[in-house]
Structure 1
């Protein structure tokens, strides 16, 4: 999940009039593109970007790479674990502070062992004792990265969660790090004692989220104060409070000596609190892979995908992503000296999130009926959206599961959609269950009750199916696909009212797990992608009852059992059963997965894997270099 799906931060809402004008313009395109009308059907352009360029050229030392951040998401926090109240995304967390295991950008791997701080974990026969050998890494002040640094990081994470379970979006009460006792048995050996055995694949995915912080430099509760024993929970709480308070001072990010102690390949050189743009300089003591040949890496914030494209055209960006709405610009960018590579990111799916707890107009009662969710999924023309010049412009792949593209744990139905685009099937599902369908009108419950052929529990006679869909204002395909869906729903007599919100607003305000007071303010939301762990895309925390990122309050006892099995059981293949069950029960509706289009100057090179990782927004500029130009 990275959000990201794991990022959270807020920006002002766009003016409603401007948003409605933009939506109307997109709808005009969709009116022909999604129905196949006219002669403007998008061409399949995948052959122009699906090949990953090879590493090339003789490396030179120096130079500055300018990287475009995701439009609409500007960092405003620096401590690796921001509290829920911070509403912030973190600056270059994986580049300044490495997680114990570096996440992999490959679909069949959980961790990139070469870029990790430790060797692969070793398990006891009962899987309750885990021994981890640290690699030879150093902090920027020259001190070795030790097992106690990992223990310190766990102690502070536990302190954060004791203060509020919402302080870590990957947390489910009773699970990691609950019941985990960490000990530094030697300076380079970490031992984890687990009250409950985890599936090794799942535990490894959690350890990719454990950022390792400096125990000897950050174990203070006030500036210049004494160093504290972080194993004491009261001390850990005091340290956590101090560090998060320091992280609120954006103007001091680059000057505060706390934040200069890093174990990753870079340190913070400058930060602009107004825009969220920042610059990194090499950590001279970094001892991991990569020569950090670049003198500097500048990360630049943007408010729109169009602004990113303009900077590419002006030659001012070295690396970034291209919105699929600008796919016709690929040839021009290549002629200008850019590589363009695209594919679906591993373990990514694009959900229309449903709010099972929204009581407005009995939405909770209506959406609880599986046949309603199935009918709505039948209205999503995935193939049409992919081809449409107004939605994906050919740069997407159909997807009907939580596992995403190319997963080692695919659903049992393979590529066959459980609920393919079929408006007639959608209408039949409603009529067979007591609804009077009025195309382009108002479909209502005609036969209330809980028996066969009746609408279902809590749905009164005359009940309509109408709800709001909160749609992110970026990237462009989000609004486009939401309009296409709402248009098709209207033909079935289902009224979907689109409300455009900033991406950061959705991340901050629309989640029942962390903003329960707002549960009646949204019925569905589309914020774009949801990323699970590459290599082991468990839906733990996302779709289990009480999961910290279960935004819509979805509950299914059978799914809970499957998620528990994939989390705690010894057999990882049960994950396919979990994926299948979720995909059929529809806790969310499924949109196609856009291809992430990565763009970089052909004067920049490095291992192909480092550019493939950009599909998941994993940056490894320490592996990049500007190549020597032909004379």
Structure 2
């Protein structure tokens, strides 16, 4: 479930849930279906696209509300904010178009073998920024890195699953092999053509995994041990890239400066310089208004939308996001093992009231793992339980699970025999997040569950604690930005790196397997399998689903984005944009 594309939402990543995340110029997630969300495409009567002739020059300054990490080799870091920075410099094998269909990028063409186990890919005539060609060897080098034992253990990398289906991945992961070229997983046909062979027939693997790979230059990194990459100067500021922009200056975790890549294979970008700044969400509207920022990657709050629409020269759009916000729980803890307790939590949260009051209507409550914008999302007509707010039902489920009400109005945890006191962790820096934490605390108190709010911490600290299964974290607020393809792998398999709930369920794993077997090459059959899995997740409730938020896009009308580059998930192809001088 990794995002692809050039731009802000390039990689599936931890997103500060409950902060309105803004897709940037890269391929945003989504599907070819229209949204069922409550958001709308709107502006302050300012044209959102351009029909004029592009001009070259200028500096585009973007803002995001959270610091990125200083690991800029693709997939070294899982943060959305780091992916924003990396995505403008490294292209993926495949991209999407305005209608969110997969299209060529570095991979120019691809064909399947008759047995559907091997795909042959021909690369575009792309070069690295130093003039060297992007080759099959670079793709192999990148795949070997993602599968390597050093990446997946020493560096604690989380995208090894992208190459997990390829023949030989296990041998490389345990150190018994070093390259897919020797395991039968990769065959170099020529400098610009290669084939990848998978362990099994997999209907989703090209879209959900291989398409997302962002090649890295073998000729630059081959003599540096992978285990040392996180301390290499290249990781702090890559010197050779293949995307539309090259790094000019990385200023810690606060800002990064780029310049247009003259060797970019899709054409040198019209805008000469690009800057991404980390700024407080509180000042983003003012920066847009005074022109010091022309585009917002993340950091806009729902409460900003109304005021932004009143600012002359600012374009505001709020399409649905292909992702969801959630209340995370550790399923293996005694408090949460009984799925009736998890169902009670879902019933006990007035999610629509939170969307209306805190998010100002910019979202849609959900009760399953695929948001409404996905072409494969299950609906109530399919049998999905919407878990509409019902504190009475929540109380009944808690009674059935043995959580009896104590004399002081709070329930007794049957695993301890003492009054339950669940702790909730959340990120700092955005009052919206705190408001949601307080609302959850209040709603759960109404069904007799005491919740203590931990002191807010910066997002990267919270993410690190959640990822490492820190014992101080019991419940947390976060969100996922999903890939265009609805493949559940990456988040939902029992052994997946991003399965932060540690939900181990063989039935779910078997259902997920059915979403990519031979029958799933037929889209209708694949959707049916995905719906069956969603119904099971909807019943077992491994985490507490909150809502699919709406994106908030805001940018200066001086930033010209061609109509062909604006998708429902955000603008694409930054090399086509230009600034009115």
TM-score by length of 1: 0.77
The count of residues paired between Structure 1 and Structure 2 equals 527
- Residues 1:45 and 1:559: Cα distance change in structure 2 (over 3 Å): closer
Please list the CA deviations of residues 378-406 of structure 1 after superposition, one character each: whole Å capped at 9, or x if unmatched.
Answer: 11212211211xx1012222222211132
Structure 1: distance between partners of 2:335 and 2:564 = 46
Q: Does 1:566 align with 2:510?
A: no
- Residues 1:556 and 1:434: Cα distance change in structure 2 (over 3 Å): same
2:92 maps to 99
- Of residues 372, 388, 407, the one that matches 2:374 is 407
3-state SS in 1 of match to 2:463:
helix
3-state SS in 2 of match to 1:592:
strand
Structure number with greater Rg is 1
Structure 1: distance between partners of 2:128 and 2:390 = 57
Q: Deviation of residue 131 (structure 1)?
A: 0.5
- Residues 1:425 and 1:83: Cα distance change in structure 2 (over 3 Å): closer
- Residues 1:539 and 1:247: Cα distance change in structure 2 (over 3 Å): farther
After superposition, residues 237-252 of structure 1 pair within 5 angstroms as 238=225, 240-247=226-233, 250=236
3-state SS in 1 of match to 2:530:
helix
Structure 2: distance between partners of 1:148 and 1:248 = 19
8 Å Cα contact 2:345/2:444 also seen in 1: yes
8 Å Cα contact 2:147/2:164 also seen in 1: no
2:242 maps to 263
Structure 2: distance between partners of 1:556 and 1:153 = 31
3-state SS in 2 of match to 1:122:
strand
- Of residues 395, 403, 412, the one that matches 1:427 is 395
8 Å Cα contact 1:325/1:476 also seen in 2: no
- Of residues 23, 26, 50, the one that matches 1:55 is 50
3-state SS in 1 of match to 2:95:
coil
Structure 2: distance between partners of 1:565 and 1:105 = 30
Q: Deviation of residue 484 (structure 1)?
A: 0.8
8 Å Cα contact 1:603/1:627 also seen in 2: yes
Structure 1: distance between partners of 2:158 and 2:320 = 24
Q: Deviation of residue 212 (structure 1)?
A: 0.8
Please list the CA deviations of residues 40-84 of structure 1 after superposition, one character each: whole Å capped at 9, or x if unmatched.
Answer: xxxx98474599933333322211110112x12323122223279
Q: Deviation of residue 575 (structure 1)?
A: 2.0
Q: Deviation of residue 128 (structure 1)?
A: 1.6
8 Å Cα contact 2:139/2:216 also seen in 1: yes
- Residues 1:581 and 1:249: Cα distance change in structure 2 (over 3 Å): closer
3-state SS in 2 of match to 1:197:
coil
- Residues 1:570 and 1:96: Cα distance change in structure 2 (over 3 Å): farther
- Of residues 288, 306, 328, the one that matches 1:328 is 306
1:121 maps to 110
1:510 maps to 466
2:211 maps to 208
Q: Does 1:277 align with 2:277?
A: no
Q: Deviation of residue 494 (structure 1)?
A: 0.4
3-state SS in 2 of match to 1:96:
coil
Please list the CA deviations of residues 240-265 of structure 1 after superposition, one character each: whole Å capped at 9, or x if unmatched.
Answer: 24543314874xx3xxxxx3322111
8 Å Cα contact 1:386/1:395 also seen in 2: yes
After superposition, residues 16-31 of structure 1 pair within 5 angstroms as none
2:295 maps to 319
8 Å Cα contact 1:271/1:278 also seen in 2: yes
8 Å Cα contact 2:260/2:268 also seen in 1: no
8 Å Cα contact 1:76/1:91 also seen in 2: no
Q: Does 1:479 align with 2:434?
A: yes
Structure 1: distance between partners of 2:139 and 2:147 = 12
2:143 maps to 154
2:176 maps to none
Structure 1: distance between partners of 2:125 and 2:338 = 55
Q: Does 1:182 align with 2:186?
A: yes
- Residues 1:493 and 1:479: Cα distance change in structure 2 (over 3 Å): same
1:65 maps to 60
- Residues 1:440 and 1:599: Cα distance change in structure 2 (over 3 Å): farther
Structure 2: distance between partners of 1:371 and 1:567 = 30
Q: Does 1:338 align with 2:314?
A: yes
TM-score by length of 2: 0.83
3-state SS in 2 of match to 1:183:
strand
2:505 maps to 556
3-state SS in 1 of match to 2:552:
strand
Please list the CA deviations of residues 420-451 of structure 1 after superposition, one character each: whole Å capped at 9, or x if unmatched.
Answer: 11111111222344433359721126xx6xxx
3-state SS in 1 of match to 2:496:
coil
2:264 maps to 286
Q: Deviation of residue 143 (structure 1)?
A: 2.5
Structure 1: distance between partners of 2:155 and 2:327 = 23
Report which structure shows greater RCO (CA 8 Å, sep ≥6): 2
2:472 maps to 521
8 Å Cα contact 1:75/1:89 also seen in 2: yes
8 Å Cα contact 1:7/1:89 also seen in 2: no
Structure 2: distance between partners of 1:59 and 1:248 = 33
Structure 1: distance between partners of 2:222 and 2:568 = 33
Structure 2: distance between partners of 1:276 and 1:193 = 41
- Of residues 267, 282, 305, the one that matches 1:306 is 282
- Residues 1:370 and 1:50: Cα distance change in structure 2 (over 3 Å): farther
Structure 2: distance between partners of 1:422 and 1:345 = 26
Q: Does 1:354 align with 2:329?
A: yes
Structure 1: distance between partners of 2:162 and 2:561 = 41
- Of residues 251, 264, 272, the one that matches 1:295 is 272
2:553 maps to 598
Q: Deviation of residue 338 (structure 1)?
A: 0.8
- Residues 1:488 and 1:241: Cα distance change in structure 2 (over 3 Å): closer
3-state SS in 2 of match to 1:192:
strand
Structure 2: distance between partners of 1:352 and 1:510 = 12
3-state SS in 1 of match to 2:554:
strand
Structure 2: distance between partners of 1:173 and 1:104 = 22
Structure 1 stretch displaced more, 49-58 or 126-135: 49-58
- Residues 1:246 and 1:162: Cα distance change in structure 2 (over 3 Å): closer
